[in-house]
């Protein structure tokens, strides 16, 4: 993992600095301050206010501590998954290399098979590393965009084409509605394709076999948008507000092999925002499907010029 990755960290020192409730109890309302020693009533009120403020500070510190602990847990979980993914990708490459190294001569069909194993696994590892680099760029806002005038529907078509085989494998029904030649945006086509592929990949992963996925691109009054809607496992109201955070993962249903790192949506959000757009997630809850909508400023609009 990129050690410069800018993700929140928590140190044991920061826990020690936090005031504890038991220490707070030492400040009691019946201890008059010097300033108000002559007026016990005012001193009483002052101390009560101070106590209340301290209590609020402690509660806020506890909230921060819980959030930091949960971030730490997410990072550790992501590291574990990452280590497994890397080991799973490397093992077949090592085996292929052992076969190649140990054989005096190799049949051409076996050679072709070994080359395919090395190619498939090294491509997967390269993708994993690219995802992590994107996660690092997302957290530091360092994406470089090569923008030009592009047709959103054309990119929707390309993204759909690359995800179709995976959807066919899961017998999912895909419906696409994207009128060509009318939805122009000023954008980096590779990055917009990456946004859509991530959303489609999720829709496929988190929708059971035989489910439905609907992709729509359309024009609104002040922007152009693309949405991916599925009738899959859905997202709980607890998970929904955190779904775009780095290493966030909702309910881990579905095949273990399809579980990811929780990087995709964090990258999607950063990419959409760096185009001057917005991304939203909706779900009525577990088993009720999900809908993700990415908006982009229409080409030539004030927002487009400003972004
Ligand atoms: N269409 C969807 N339906 C239900 N849950 C979803 C959907 N899309 C995303 N999620 C939830 O949001 C979480 C974060 O998604 P994200 O794409 O960032 O990570 P991931 O798919 O787990 O891994 P990867 O880094 O490979 O994309 C997922 O783990 C999943 O719980
Ligand atoms: Mg994903």
For 210, the token pair is 């035989």
Q: How confident is the model at residue 305 (pLDDT cuts 50, 70, 90)?
A: low
**Span 249-275, mean pLDDT?**
77
Answer yes or no: are the C-beta atoms of 145 and 204 closer than 8 Å: no
211 close to ligand 1 (CB < 6 Angstrom): no
pLDDT number for residue 194: 95
- Over residues 207-248, the pLDDT tens digits come to 999 999 999 999 998 899 999 999 999 999 999 999 998 888
Residues 6+ apart with CB under 8 A from 51: 24, 27, 29
**Span 37-61, mean pLDDT?**
88
Q: How confident is the model at residue 71 (pLDDT cuts 50, 70, 90)?
A: confident
pLDDT number for residue 37: 55
CA atoms of 130 and 137, how far apart (whole Å): 10
What's CA 171's distance to the chain center, in Å?
Answer: 26
Gap from CA of 151 to ligand 1 centroid (Å): 27
135 close to ligand 1 (CB < 6 Angstrom): no
**Nearest ligand atom owner, CA of 200:** 1
Residues 6+ apart with CB under 8 A from 80: none
Percent of the chain exceeding pLDDT 90 equals: 59
pLDDT number for residue 252: 57
**Nearest ligand atom owner, CA of 132:** 1
Closest CA to 275 of 188, 157, 148, 152: 188
Q: What are phi and psi of 56, to 5 degrees?
A: -60, -40
Q: Which residue is it, tokens 């930091």?
A: 68
pLDDT at 103 over 90: no
CA atoms of 78 and 72, how far apart (whole Å): 10
* Lowest mean pLDDT across 30-34, 113-117, 238-242: 30-34
**Span 160-167, mean pLDDT?**
95
Q: Which residue is it, tokens 């997202």?
A: 235
Residues 6+ apart with CB under 8 A from 43: 32, 33, 35, 36, 37
270 close to ligand 1 (CB < 6 Angstrom): no
CA atoms of 296 and 239, how far apart (whole Å): 25
**Nearest ligand atom owner, CA of 263:** 1
260 close to ligand 1 (CB < 6 Angstrom): yes
Beta partners for 216?
177, 227
Produce one character per residue of 200-212: b if its CB has 16 or more CB atoms within 10 Å, e if not.
Answer: bbbbbbbbeeebe
Q: What's the mean per-residue pLDDT of the chain?
A: 84
Q: Which residue has the higher pLDDT, 61 or 106?
A: 61
213 close to ligand 1 (CB < 6 Angstrom): no
pTM, full prediction: 0.73
202 close to ligand 1 (CB < 6 Angstrom): yes
Closest CA to 296 of 162, 195, 170: 195
- Over residues 59-68, the pLDDT tens digits come to 999 999 998 9
Angle between helices 264-274 and 108-140 (to 10 degrees): 60
Answer yes or no: are the C-beta atoms of 296 and 223 closer than 8 Å: yes
Torsion 170-171-172-174 (CA) sign: positive
- Over residues 125-139, the pLDDT tens digits come to 998 898 888 888 887
* Lowest mean pLDDT across 19-28, 112-121, 221-230: 19-28
CA atoms of 215 and 226, how far apart (whole Å): 7
3-class DSSP state for residue 218?
strand
Q: What are phi and psi of 214, to 5 degrees?
A: -125, 125
Gap from CA of 231 to ligand 1 centroid (Å): 14
For 151, the token pair is 């047709």
């Amino acid at each position: 993992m990129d050690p410069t990755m800018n993700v929140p960290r928590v140190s044991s020192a920061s826990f020690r600095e936090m005031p504890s409730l038991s220490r707070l109890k030492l400040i009691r309302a019946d201890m008059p301050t010097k300033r108000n020693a002559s007026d016990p009533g005012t001193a009483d009120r002052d101390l009560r206010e101070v106590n209340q403020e301290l209590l609020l500070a402690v509660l806020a510190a506890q909230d921060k501590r819980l959030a930091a602990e949960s971030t730490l847990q997410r990072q550790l979980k992501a590291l574990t998954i990452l280590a497994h993914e890397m080991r799973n990708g490397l093992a077949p490459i090592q085996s292929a290399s052992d076969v190649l190294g140990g054989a005096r001569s190799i049949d051409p069909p076996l050679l072709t098979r070994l080359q395919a194993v090395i190619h498939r696994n090294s491509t997967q590892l390269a993708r994993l590393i690219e995802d992590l680099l994107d996660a690092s760029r997302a957290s530091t806002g360092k994406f470089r965009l090569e923008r030009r005038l592009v047709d959103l529907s054309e990119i929707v078509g390309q993204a759909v084409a690359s995800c179709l085989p995976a959807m066919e494998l899961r017998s999912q029904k895909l419906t696409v509605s994207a009128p060509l030649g009318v939805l122009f945006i000023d954008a980096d086509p590779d990055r917009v394709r990456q946004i859509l592929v991530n959303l489609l990949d999720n829709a496929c992963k988190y929708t059971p076999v035989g489910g439905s996925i609907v992709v729509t691109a359309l024009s609104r009054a002040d922007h152009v948008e693309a949405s991916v809607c599925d009738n899959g496992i859905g997202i709980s109201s607890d998970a929904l507000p955190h779904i775009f955070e780095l290493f966030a993962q909702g309910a881990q249903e579905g095949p273990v092999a399809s579980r990811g790192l929780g990087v995709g949506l964090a990258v999607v959000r950063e990419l959409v925002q760096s185009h001057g757009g917005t991304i939203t997630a909706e779900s009525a809850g577990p088993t009720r499907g999900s809908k993700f909508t990415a908006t982009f400023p229409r080409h030539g609009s004030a927002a487009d010029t400003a972004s």
